[in-house]
Each structure stands twice: as C-alpha cells, then as structure tokens.
Amino acid sequence: MSDVTTSYRFTARLLHWAIGLLIIAMILAGFAMLQEELPRSVRNTLFIFHKNAGILALVAVIVRLAYRALHTPPALPETVEPMQRRAAAVSHFALYALMIAMPIFGYVRVKAGGFPIESLDAWGVPSLVPRSDQLASLAKSAHYVGAIVISVVVLAHISAALYHALVLKDGVFQRMWFSASKAEK
C-alpha cells in the first residue's frame, strides 16, 4: 500500500517522524532531569535541552497542523475496524492536544517561576506571563501530569503502529513510513 491515495505525503511523514523523535527525546530528558542522583551539570544540560526543545516542538506542531489543514491526510483502509478508527481518532486528538498543551504548561512554569528559556531570551522575546510562584506551581503540576499522560498516549500510539506493521500487516504503518515512496510532496 504505497500509492498516492493511501500514503502520507513526504512532508507529512518528515514532520511526523521529526516531531515524534523530538517528543520521545523530551520525555526521556524530562524524566531524567528530575533524577537527583544525576550530577547537577547533567541535570542542568537536560533542563536547557528540554525547555528549548519544547519551543521547537510547539513550532513544529503548529507547522504540522497548518500543513495538515492544507493537505488532507489519506483515509484509513476500509479493512480497519470501526473501533480501531475511533481509537485512532481519539489518540490523534489527544496527541495533538498534548503536543500543544505541554509546551504551554512548560513555558508558564518556567517563566512564571522566573527562569530563562535560553532560545527565546536570546531572541529578545519578552515573557508572556507574570512572575508568580502560585502560577508556576500550578503549571508545574499540569506539566507533570501531562508528561505521564503523553507518555502513555505515545506508547499506545507506538504499540498500535507496531501492531499494524508486525501483526496485521495491513499497510497502515507503511502509510507513514518512508518506504511509501510514491506519495506526493
């Protein structure tokens, strides 16, 4: 199943995999940077990566959503069961919502807490939220809960993709993989 009607366009695939790898790296860095047994220098590096990658991820997700609005994704094959279709729709909605909410929660936590976001600060972007320990604490809690939820949703997404690729072999995974070379740009 690699024809143009069933495969995602190259740009959609590139954005999908780049954002996916970035999100996974951020999840791993996010949980690692909280491990107090790590040297402070390592934790600081992870914090800097995590904050700045969050900004990059938010921009990339906005680009992806804009691209998706301009280029309708291919329909799922008719062989996909209705329950799987609903699960896919719900999980994709959850992923997009979390990929937007998580950087916002993180931004509010950092800026309201009085901390820098190095890339934005270097560009002279002013803080969009006031300094507030209460707001920072609320955003920190939302970001932490969101981290757990997005981790579960990402694992479910990966599991479903592998199930389609290795068990069902129904072409669903191949639609987003780069071997679907006949897709339009």
Query: What's the whole-number average pLDDT of the chain?
Result: 93
For the chain, what's the residue count? 185
Question: Is the per-residue pLDDT at 185 higher than 90?
Answer: no
Place of tokens 């799987």: 84
Q: 162 by DSSP, 3-state: which?
A: helix
Looking up tokens 């729709």 gives 89
If pLDDT is split at 50, 70 and 90, which confidence band does 179 have?
confident
pLDDT tens-place string over residues 99-120? 999 999 999 999 999 999 999 9
The H or E element that residue 28 is part of is helix 10-32
Residue 29's pLDDT is 98
Report yes or no: 185 and 9 within 8 Å, Cβ to Cβ.
yes
Task: Give the pLDDT of residue 146.
Answer: 98
Q: Are 119 and 52 in contact (CB under 8 A)?
A: yes
Q: Model pTM?
A: 0.90
Per-residue pLDDT of 4-45, as tens digits, reads: 357 899 999 999 999 999 999 999 999 999 999 999 999 999
In angstroms, rounded to a whole number, what is the distance separating the alpha carbons of residues 108 and 101? 11
